[in-house]
Amino acid sequence: MTVVLQVSDTHFGTERAEVVEALVEWSAQQRPDLVVVSGDITQRARPQQFRAARDWLDRLGAPWLAVPGNHDIPLFDVWTRFRRPYGRYSAAFGDDLEPVHQSHDLLVIGVNTTRPWRHQDGVVAARQVDRVAQCLQGATPGQLRIVVVHQPMGVARAEDRRHVLRGHAAALQRWASAGADLVMGGHIHLPYVREMERLARPLWVVQAGTAVSRRVRAGVPNSVNLLRWGQGAAAGTCHIEQWDFSAADRSFRLARVTDLHPPRP
């Protein structure tokens, strides 16, 4: 079985120390094979925030794949924002802003949906749609095919529609036709799993809440997603678990389970 841990919107600089430590302890118990980080790793893209985030990520004890979020570009340092927008991110997380991970069970494709000239809105460009589709078409039958973005490709609440990724409709159509199973995202600090409609084949949006930051929505605790797939899991079933931080226990507790059945070629 392959286990994927999705964390998002850690916003280091606003992290809660007790949640940071609880997630390290919990990850050691779950032993993920891959950690997916779907953006907004820092609060203000400061070097010390990136260093703290990278140190914490290394403590989770698994390979990782990360994409930047809008908070990972300097906001107030205008010169750096437009001349070297990803310089601080790259110093901590590497120069590849759109990494790809492949294993026997997984194909995970990162997409950088941030733009230095946009404060919050995300964009997926035609060239990015093409790149992802070509990569998806090379997947093997046993691989679960995941695309990772920051801003959401689909929302569960009307109030969040303004945050939907620009270019999402064309991207979803193309990626579904190319064989994508899941699109993981963050940005709105709200966890949910939603099947997208009117596509060539089933495709689900998997959104993560804020993992360790105090910047939570009212009534929505810190949370992460854990995905199980492949040999040892139920045949053809993608098992997605939402784990919420319990302040009373100072630990992560299973809150919700969603079973998906992605079609195989």
Q: What pLDDT was estimated at residue 232?
A: 64
249 CB neighbour count, 10 Å cutoff: 9
Burial class (CB in 10 A: 0-12, 13-18, 19+), 226: buried
Q: What pLDDT was estimated at residue 236?
A: 87
Provide the residue-wise pLDDT of the chain in tens; the chain has 265 residues.
Answer: 899 999 999 999 999 999 999 999 999 999 999 999 999 999 999 999 999 999 999 999 999 999 999 999 998 877 788 889 999 999 999 999 999 999 999 999 999 999 998 888 999 999 999 999 999 999 999 999 999 999 999 999 999 999 999 999 999 999 999 999 999 999 999 999 999 999 999 999 999 999 999 999 999 999 999 999 986 666 789 999 999 999 999 999 999 999 999 998 7
User: Are 214 and 16 in contact, with CB atoms under 8 Å apart?
Assistant: yes
Q: DSSP state, 31?
A: -
Which pTM was predicted? 0.96
Q: What pLDDT was estimated at residue 89?
A: 98
Look at residue 52 and give its three-state secondary structure.
helix
User: Are 158 and 170 in contact, with CB atoms under 8 Å apart?
Assistant: no
User: Are 224 and 243 in contact, with CB atoms under 8 Å apart?
Assistant: yes
Look at residue 20 and give its three-state secondary structure.
helix
The letter for the amino acid at 20 is: V
User: Are 217 and 190 in contact, with CB atoms under 8 Å apart?
Assistant: yes
